[in-house]
Amino acid sequence: MATATAQTTDAPAQRELERRMLRQMLLIRHFEEKAAEAYALGKIGGFCHLYIGQEAVAVGALSALRDDDYVISSYREHGQALARGVPANAVMAELFGKATGCSKGKGGSMHLFDAGRRFMGGHGIVGGHIPLAAGLGFAIRYKGGDQVCICYFGEAAVNIGAFHETLNMASVYKLPVIFLCENNRYGMGTAFERVAAVTDVVEHACSYDMAAELVNGMDVLAVYEATRRAAERGRKGGRPTLLEVRTYRFMGHSMSDPLHGVYRTKEEVEEQRKRDPISQLAGKLKEEGVLDQAGLDALDAEVRAEAEEAVRFADRSPDPDPAELTTHVLAD
């Protein structure tokens, strides 16, 4: 596995980057906790897939990208939207189905979009968005740009045909795409090893002559570095990369599912919680004297307030006008 050895050409800048990453991870954690509360209160409907435990994967990777790069994801995408800079208010309002949501209340938890930030959606069919990422990469190449497209998907999507068709074509067409597999070990309640003949996702890259890295997804700096290398590969040579980022979800598959039970043990979840990516980075920053406990508490309070404000904002935002039912079916 790639280990965390961040490039420290500029120590203050590196410290600022790490501090920013910690802030974003904390924001996602608090945001998701608030979302869980709101879901329990019936303010959020439908499916709601929380990102708690996986924060380092969104934050580490997206910190390594530029504003003009494309980001596309599956339905567990609140964390990536926040890490991309979509305001917490707009994300929470979308979960609440409000007109002020980032998709005007028409997408919900699984379909967060912010075209201005090149956040090209949450998509709800497992693996269905993987070809879209290659299409975004194709457009970059077509226009002669040096951007990349990053595509988040879970390990369960690797068993879908779209994954294989797309990796093949991305390699054949030399597309600047980072395929980032968030391997959280379970597709809903099914352990990956029970349904996958090859359990090291990274090995699939061999079939498509693609660069690949196995990354510790609980180490935000490792994710950052691996993504930086992959982006470089995309920008310079128009080559795709497959990153298998090993992570763990601390919550159930969605809000309707149990945390543990038939498919994984309580002990396993508790063991994994000891690897909490936020505690790890906070510990590192404390150890290095970048942040003391008071500083950490202040940061925590700041983002907690941001998440609470997002709930208040969503709560007081209006529902979409009934006329919105029939808008945006077709473009002019």
Partner 1 sequence: MATLTYRDALNQALREEMQRDPNVFLMGEEVGVYQGAYKVSRGLLEEFGPMRIVDTPIAELGFAGIGVGAAMAGLRPVIEFMTWNFAVLALDQIVNSAAKILYESGGQIPIPIVFRGPNGAALQLAAQHSQAWDSWLSHIPGLKVVAPATPADAKGLLKAAIRDNNPVIVLEGEMLYNLKGAVPEGEHIVPIGRADVKRPGRDVTFVCHSKTVAVALKAAEQLAEHEGVSAEVLDLRSLRPLDEEAIVGSVARTNRAVVIEEGWPHAGIGAQVVDVIQRGAFDQLDAPVLRVTQADVPMPYNKQLERLAKPSPDRVVAAARRVLYLD
The shares of helix, strand and coil residues in the chain, as percent rounded to the nearest 5, are 50, 10, 40
Among residues 42 and 161, whose Cβ is nearest to partner 1?
161
The smaller minimum CB distance to partner 1, of residues 70 and 263, is found at 70
Q: CA-CA distance, 158 to 181, in Å (whole number)?
A: 8
Least separation in angstroms between residue 135's CB and partner 1 is: 2
Q: Which is nearer to partner 1, 72 or 310 (CB)?
A: 72
The residue among 68 and 268 lying less far from partner 1, judged by its C-beta, is 68
Binding part of the chain for partner 1, among 80-88, 161-169, 239-247, 301-309 by CB under 8 A, reads 161-169
Structure tokens at 147: 């951007």
User: In angstroms, rounded to a whole number, what is the distance separating the alpha carbons of residues 169 and 146?
Assistant: 19
Residues 181-240 that bind partner 1 (CB under 8 A): none
Among 165, 232, 309, 315, binds partner 1 (CB under 8 A): 165
Count of residues near partner 1 by CB under 8 A: 47
Among the listed residues 40, 172, 188, 298, the single contact to partner 1 using CB under 8 A = 172
Q: Round to whole Å and give the CA distance between 285 and 283.
A: 5
Contact in structure between 110 and 123 (CB atoms under 8 Å): yes
Q: Of the candidates 12, 42, 161, 289, which one interacts with partner 1 according to CB under 8 A?
A: 161
Residues 62 to 101: which contact partner 1 by CB under 8 A? 70, 72, 101
327 interacts with partner 1 by CB under 8 A: yes
Alpha helices in the chain (DSSP H): 11-40, 55-63, 78-83, 88-95, 130-143, 161-172, 192-195, 204-207, 220-237, 266-273, 277-287, 293-316
Task: Residue 82: name the closest of 105, 53, 62 by CA.
Answer: 62
**Tokens representing 221?**
């700096």
Window 115-154: contact mask with partner 1 (x via CB under 8 A) = x----xx-xxx--xxxxxxxxxxxxx-xx-----------
Angle value at C-alpha 169, between 163 and 174, nearest 5 degrees: 125
Taking the CB of residue 223, how many other CB atoms lie within 10 A of it? 31
3-state secondary structure at position 306: helix
Question: Can residue 331 be called a binding residue for partner 1 (CB under 8 A)?
Answer: yes
Instruction: Between 205 and 299, name the residue whose CB sits nearer to partner 1.
Output: 205
Q: Is 107 within 8 Å of 114 (Cβ atoms)? A: no
Indicate which single residue of 22, 91, 157, 162 sits in contact with partner 1 (rule: CB under 8 A): 162
User: What is the closest distance, in whole angstroms, from the C-beta atom of residue 216 to partner 1 in the complex?
Assistant: 29
Alpha-carbon span 49 to 178, nearest angstrom? 23
Indicate whether 46 belongs to the interface with partner 1 (CB under 8 A).
no
Q: Which is nearer to partner 1, 61 or 102 (CB)?
A: 102
Residue 313 found at the interface with partner 1 (CB under 8 A): no
Supply the minimum distance, in Å, between the C-beta of residue 166 and partner 1: 5
- Chain positions contacting partner 1, by CB under 8 A: 70, 72, 101-107, 111, 113-115, 120-121, 123-125, 128-140, 142-143, 161-162, 165-166, 168-169, 172-173, 327-332
